[in-house]
Amino acid sequence: MQDTRPAKPLSQSELPGATLPGAEPLGAGPAGSDAMGHEGPLAGVRIVDFSRVLSGPYCTALLADLGAEVIKVETPAGDDYRHVAPFERGESALFTQVNRGKKSVVLDLKTPEGVQAAYALARTADAVVENFRPGVADRLGIGWDTLHAINPSLIYLSISGFGQTGPDAAKPAYDVIIQGLCGIMDVTGQPDGPPTLVGEALADVVAGLFGSWALLAALAGRERKARVQSGGQGTAMQGMAAPPGGRRIDLSMFEAMMSLMVTSTSTYLFSGQVPGRVGNRHPLSSPFGFYRAADGYFSIAVLNNRLFRAVCETIGAEDLMDDSRFASDSARSQHDHVLRERIEAWSASRSVADILACLDRAGVPGGPMQTVDQALSCPQAQARNMVLPIDDPRLPDARLVRQPAIFDGHVPAHLSRAPALGEHTEEILKSLGVVGDSSASA
């Protein structure tokens, strides 16, 4: 039975510090930089973000983390994620997580004034991100053809469920739909149980991750073109006008998930065998999975004969070392049930901590199975400062998980807050010379 008790929040005393050893903290500073003057890799890059909910906002949150100026364009009602629980003091945890470090501009794209303001933003943008269903951006007047004509150097990323073409292009898509279609549910769960949904909105997050990767590649290509044209004297990000190097990126959640399924798809395409559910073990290797202990579960990861022999010596199963059934990784996988019985006969009376100590002495890779609260507060997460406070007076005690990449040893002292709805509308539109009410509903 699943433990439904709420995880105990980390207290201030349990909160990790702001730096890794030898690193300086990041704090409030100019856009794209920290209080110490360290610029993020994307400082000076402007992203106009028409996306909402999860896939697009996650993509642009990663870019904001790296110093990009992300201008989130919202309807007068705001992103749907603003209204999704859980809430803290009226602020959505999910919205805060995936819209950190952005600016919010409210535009009603169903009015001529709103569309003209969007054009003004596009003229100044390095990239645009949208995750409407195919055809919607065009109907709103902010499609690729229109914005590329306004700004020939624009990188335009479209994230959708199924891509801009194909028989399913116009269909709506959510994570649960994509997980069912791509096959990942069919290979997740126990062999004698039903297909199982992965316990995270994986399709959205993976699409956002691939989206940030693709957008950065397009920006790098454009910058390379700028360097070539300038004779190596500078780049567009250093004050030059960007060269006409615009690209349209068509990314689908469906294809992102298929690309992620490296083991399952390659197995089928090479062997013709349809992968099935194998439970808490690796589908191709053994012993490689989770096993029962007296007080929980632990993992073992063995990919070669040397490590297999070390496992056998550790659990007192030396008789298996020269057994032909276990002579190779593929042979061991075929007889995984035998290995599981022998491993769990040894582990059932031992604690996870004792088992992992034995494996560690033998040089066998393994680890415990942790709950989310245990993972967030474990020594490794604390040492790496994975959980950080949010620089937001509305949420004085709130903390979130940072993005994982650390540049030059610098870790943020805090995460930048998510914007209030329309917080930066006047500031940004005024800087663009836009007059009139672009946010009023028609």
Phi-psi region of 82 (alpha: psi -120 to 50; beta: other; left: phi over 0): alpha
**Is residue 297 helix, strand or coil?**
strand
Q: Determine the 3-state secondary structure of 275 from DSSP.
A: coil
List the Cα angle 29/31/37 in 5-degree steps: 45
Taking a C-beta distance cutoff of 8 angstroms, is the pair 263, 283 a contact? yes
Residues 26, 402: Cα–Cα separation, whole Å: 13
List residues with catalytic annotation.
282
Neighbours of 51 (CB within 10 A): 25
| Residue 198, both tokens | 């992965």
Q: Look up residue 160 and give its amino acid.
A: S
405 to 46, 178, 218, 401, 408: CA distances (angstroms): 21, 28, 20, 12, 10
The answer to whether 32 and 39 are in contact (CB under 8 A) is: yes
Whether 222 and 242 have beta carbons less than 8 Å apart is answered as yes
Residues 381 and 387: their CA atoms lie apart, in Å, by 7
Report the DSSP beta bridge partners of residue 141.
none
Q: ∠ at Cα 144 (247, 122), nearest 5°?
A: 90
Number of CB atoms found within 10 A of residue 10's CB: 17
Contact residues for 2 (Cβ-Cβ < 8 A; gap 6+):
none
422 phi-psi bin (left φ>0, alpha ψ -120 to 50, beta other): left
Task: Give alpha helix (H) positions in 363-418.
Answer: 372-377, 379-383
Q: Which amino acid is at 249?
A: I
Chain-centre distance of CA 288, in angstroms? 26
Give the pair of three-digit tokens for residue 324: 């032909």
